[in-house]
Structure 1
Amino acid sequence: MAKKQYNPHQVKAKKFLGQHFLEDETIAEQIADALTLEGYNKVLEIGPGMGVLTKYLLKKPLTTYVIEIDRESVDYLKNNYLNLASRIIEKDFLKYDVSETFEDEQFAICGNFPYNISTQIVFKTLELRAQIPEFSGMFQKEVALRICSKEGSKVYGILSVLTQAFYGAEYLFTVPPTVFNPPPKVESGVLKLTRKENFTLSCDEKLFFRVVKQSFMHRRKTLRNSLKTLELSDNLKANVIFDKRPEQLDVQAFIDLTSLIENDENRLINTNYGS
């Protein structure tokens, strides 16, 4: 028997915030249930709207916080989730210093993310990876598939490599536009990220980010051409790995490539790798 549908009409969705309110509570429950609750007892939901997902997080044996910039949604949550009121953060997640709430504690991320900032949410999660062991949420399907894709795929790219360097990425299921109000023009996808047991790379991490980003800026070129600005030695560029294009390298190969560049005779002269 299908669960009662959530009433989406009490807060008006705002296009400039990328809001599409989820109506199907079964899907909301599945997103909440994707969290294992292992290694943490707090969760931060991003963009709770009217709390269709929040209500299922509140049922779990953890402390739920929500972060929301829409004043109308904040007012709705305060009026309808009285026990949550003190844990509603009226801020922009992308600009928020999470240490104000969590200090150095571990916490999970969850949400039906606004599509216009979903990629930025992932990048901030990577910055905070030492504190975020788990992540589950809804994305535009295309973005969710990109995050979870493997080498050889046409959508494999910067987001795939950087995310999977630190997290295991699992695409869970596809969600049709019809369960949202207003319905988006595309399908959505739910994914789960689980931080790797060892999430420290065996190479210079700042250089790793630069190598990955620069490689995919010219994805049809060989690495020898796309990484020209790193001023590599002729001896290093003779390595067969530089004959490959970036989509041919898995995450470990990018780590190995970064180590090679890090130890290159030309690079040892200047260790300022940039950002």
Structure 2
Amino acid sequence: MALPPVHMKARKRFGQNFLVNDHIIGQIVDAINPKEGEKLVEIGPGHAALTRPVLERAKSLTAIELDRDLVEILKHDPFLKGLTIIEGDALKVDFEKIEGAGNLRVFGNLPYNITSPIIFHLLSQRGIIDMHFMLQKEVVERLAAAPNSKDYGRLTVMTQFHANVIPMLIVPPSAFRPAPKVTSAVVRLKPKDLTDEERALVPYLNNVTTTAFSARRKTIRNALSKFFTENEIIDMGLDPIIRAENIPVEKYVELAKAIKYRDKV
């Protein structure tokens, strides 16, 4: 196993767990399948467990790292020729201004505590071809969930509106140092080519899903009463006694369109 340098400890405030299992690392890199000439961006390279093998194939790579001490180690690593480092918070990076924007491939081992904000931030950016992330397994299950399941929620709807979700592989806690208390999984997100009109729906979709899932035990007749009457819900082809988790993504999009139209008239 390629262990991280002993003089650098994982920092809880950054949610750091360093990947150390070479077999798992190889599987993840194969899933990403980086090629020379592609514009790759890694979020949170840590001790470069994925950075090095990706660089071997791609020859160039941009990495975003918040931890200053790790940035210094990465800068002086002789095996990371071709690496460009952006020191800062990925949540504040405008990916549309990174060199190669329009054809970016993004990957990383995301800290569990900021998974959803980073995914939402990236999905709001244009020009990302695909994303490969290692996340908490239960988060991947929520991203890929189908209606009528306990895992189906606001994160599911918002993500699947923006992208196709493809679970890739399971990663056990033993693959990390220190070992987290949860199992991880790798997921591929392939952003859809949304029109400007579809992107304009996002605030309304966010509003209706937040309202619906914050009262997920209620029927939609009650949960969405501030937006729609019972007859309006029926007119949109929905049974008013179903609950938030029973509504498919395409129907949430219809609800968002109805709310947007009302705002205009």
Letter in 2 for 1:271: K
- Displacement of 1:205: 3.2
Residue 151 of structure 1 pairs with residue 153 of structure 2: no
Deviations 1:200-258 (A, max 9, x none): 4398332122212221111111222212233x356414435133211112211212233
Please give the TM-score of this superposition, normalised by the length of structure 1.
0.85
The sequence identity of aligned pairs, in percent, is 35
Q: Matched residues in 2 for 1:82 and 1:97: separation?
A: 24
Counterpart position of 2:194? 199
Over 3 Å counting, the alpha-carbon distance change for 1:120 and 1:247 in structure 2 is same
Match of 1:173 among 169, 172, 178: 169
Letter in 2 for 1:252: E
SS of the residue aligned with 1:147? helix
Letter in 1 for 2:138: E
Counterpart position of 2:81? 83
Q: Matched residues in 1 for 2:85 and 2:200: separation?
A: 39
Q: Matched residues in 2 for 1:26 and 1:247: separation?
A: 37
SS of the residue aligned with 2:226? helix
Kept in 1: contact 2:60–2:82 (CA 8 A): no
Letter in 1 for 2:2: Y
Over 3 Å counting, the alpha-carbon distance change for 1:99 and 1:172 in structure 2 is closer
- What are the ranges of 5 or more consecutive residues in structure 1 without an aligned counterpart? none
Following superposition of structure 1 onto structure 2, how do residues 94-133 of structure 1 map, counting pairs within 5 Å? 94-102=91-99, 104-128=101-125, 130-133=126-129
Over 3 Å counting, the alpha-carbon distance change for 1:214 and 1:100 in structure 2 is same
Kept in 1: contact 2:55–2:80 (CA 8 A): no
Kept in 2: contact 1:78–1:84 (CA 8 A): no
Following superposition of structure 1 onto structure 2, how do residues 1-275 of structure 1 map, counting pairs within 5 Å? 5-10=1-6, 11-35=8-32, 41-61=38-58, 63-80=60-77, 81-85=79-83, 87-102=84-99, 104-128=101-125, 130-196=126-192, 198-200=193-195, 201=198, 204-230=201-227, 232=228, 235-239=231-235, 241=238, 242-263=240-261, 267=262, 270-271=263-264
Q: CA RMSD in A?
A: 2.4
Q: Matched residues in 2 for 1:203 and 1:153: separation?
A: 28
Over 3 Å counting, the alpha-carbon distance change for 1:123 and 1:113 in structure 2 is same
Please give the TM-score of this superposition, normalised by the length of structure 2.
0.88
Give aligned pairs, total: 258
